[in-house]
Amino acid sequence: MILSISGVVLLGIIVFLFFRKDGLKASHGVVCALFGFYLASTAIAPSIKAGGESLASLLGGIKF
């Protein structure tokens, strides 16, 4: 069975875990979210998206 999880949900869970376990302050989480939001509107966004898709396909191709 293949489980597909959105990258946003996965990163949201990671931020939540950092918030709960490692002392990430709520303000830090907001700054990270705003940074991601504004980064998505820059010229480098397509390169970041392509890199993320490449990493996802690499991880998806690993056979156990």
> Please, are residues 24 and 18 in contact by the beta-carbon 8 Å criterion?
yes
Cα–Cα distance, 19 to 41 (Å, whole number):
26
Q: Tell me: the pLDDT tens digits for 32-63?
A: 888 888 888 888 888 888 888 888 888 888 88
With a CB cutoff of 8 Å and minimum separation 6, the contacts of 26 are: 19
pTM of the model: 0.57
Cβ atoms of residues 32 and 15 within 8 Å:
yes
Q: The domain containing residue 51 runs over which residues?
A: 2-61
* Number of structural domains found in the chain: 1
**Phi-psi group of 24: left, alpha or beta (phi > 0 → left; psi -120 to 50 → alpha; rest → beta):** beta
